[in-house]
Structure 1
């Protein structure tokens, strides 16, 4: 096992696509974008190793997976109640000091890099599951994202909330439906400086409905991209031809 695989936290610029099992698809792609010279808000990844360490250190892993093995996901009431209990167990458990200290250290170092007071550094805390971008299944959007989080204690708490969101009823049902064992799906978390965007959105490198690879589709709205991703607004849509970049 390499030293990277036992790291609790990594800077985004340290991760690459091959690190997806450690940092999830979102973090791995952000790392690749940084290497490619694309502007990316600075930040760090709390690794899937930290998530597994948390479950093992607290003894929650064995309890949670036993509960999920007995769960009938087709029983809606049982699914909702069991997954709620799992999330409550995670949130009620104190963060192991070694993980908490490492997250806080990186948060303070990020503030230092940006020449900001830590109390004024607002970040996005984003889920990055290790099964997020599989060829046969897409978990994107199933776990939680938190915006405008500030303060080291709050960041630590929201990392736990992201971990807990791996066990929503929807995500749990989806894993079972696609034959993906719960024990093999882990959660990394992205912590990035917030950007006060004038407009934001999503770019698809092919048409998301027709699969047409000759176009790029951009859906955008005013303000933060969360409104577009969360379906809270009807976005503007731009279809761009590859090569000519004609809209």
Structure 2
């Protein structure tokens, strides 16, 4: 199995690049404006853990095993080549994408880690930290609650150019509470999207149906994720922005379209 694939590769399916990766590949192939990047496949994860995989189930701190081992030289070289092809010292988002993720009857959203504003050699460490997050306590507990065997899961990583976002969020093409497919629900807040995905902020909610905004609620946006020279940090939202809608109606309708 290849260890690195182009973002829009036809081989980028659930088993190879995880749920998030497979969805992004479909969006990219459909011509939607997906930030450029590449997949690091589940094959790379399995090759890495092959040296210590039997120890994971018995380790009190499984994630520590990932930090202790070096990435195989061939995989590291492939990742470096794919990263360098994006440009010179490009800032990227390094996003976990598990094979047990975004399934019809359960969602693993937020169970594994994402690292934003990563550059250069820090990429390889961020990839290993993504892999290790498959074994964080909340991911292990969620699998056990839902009867997902630990030995059957693997983690891919999506590396994408980081958007310098003034605001960000999540858009659902079906209402996540009711399942209604006639409504598109947008959650949005100031800064990068991690504060929204990680649940640190109460975002705005905008509901679009039939080409118009049918409901909206302004959230108390107290925290935002911002870039730093070597990563990100959380900081308070300026007072004048907390009660201001992130998305005007026309912008929300454009997104939904």
Cα deviation for residue 101 of structure 1 reads: 0.8
The count of aligned residue pairs is 214
Q: TM-score, normalised by structure 2?
A: 0.80
Cα drift, residue 15 of structure 1: 4.0
Question: Given the alignment, which residue of 20, 27, 31 partners 2:25?
Answer: 31
1:99 paired residue among 75, 85, 91: 75
1:125, 1:189 within 8 Å by CA — same for their partners in 2?
yes
Matched residues in 2 for 1:109 and 1:244: separation?
39
Does the 8 Å contact 2:37/2:86 carry over to 1? yes
1:244 corresponds to: 211
1:186-221 per-position Cα deviation (integer Å, ceiling 9, x unaligned): 000011100001221111112222222221111101
1:174 and 2:174 equivalent?
no
What is the CA deviation profile of residues 109-158 of structure 1, one whole-angstrom value per residue up to 9, with x for unaligned ones?
A: 121xxxxx23xx1000000001111222211110000000001x210111
Deviation at 1:245, TM superposition (A): 3.0
1:231 matched to 2:223? The reply is: no
Where do 5+ consecutive residues of structure 1 fail to align? 1-5, 69-81, 112-116
Q: Give me the whole-angstrom Cα distance separating, in 1, the residues matched to 2:176 and 2:104.
A: 15
Determine the structure 2 residue equivalent to 1:129: 98
Tell me which residue corresponds to 2:9.
14
Per the alignment, residue 39 of structure 2 pairs with 45
Contact persistence 2:95–2:130 (CA under 8 A):
yes
Q: What is the TM-score of this pair, normalised by structure 1?
A: 0.83
Closer, same or farther: CA 201–16 of 1 in aligned 2, 3 Å: farther
Deviation of 1:234 after TM superposition, in Å, equals 1.7
Higher RCO structure, 1 or 2 (CA under 8 Å, sep 6+): 1
Higher helix share: 1
- Say yes or no: does 1:62 pair with 2:29: no
Q: Provide structure 2 residue ranges, at least 5 long, that are not aligned to the other structure.
A: 215-257
What is the deviation of 1:16?
A: 5.5
Task: Name which of 119, 124, 148 aligns with 1:150.
Answer: 119
Asked if the contact 2:206/2:213 (under 8 Å) is kept, the reply is: no
> In the aligned structure 2, how far is the partner of 1:232 from the partner of 1:177?
24
| TM-fit CA distance, 1:246 | 3.6
Q: Distance in 2 between matches of 1:232 and 1:15?
A: 35
Structure 1 Cα separation of the partners of residues 83 and 96 of structure 2: 17
User: In structure 1, how many angstroms separate the alpha carbons of the residues matched to 2:49 and 2:195?
Assistant: 32
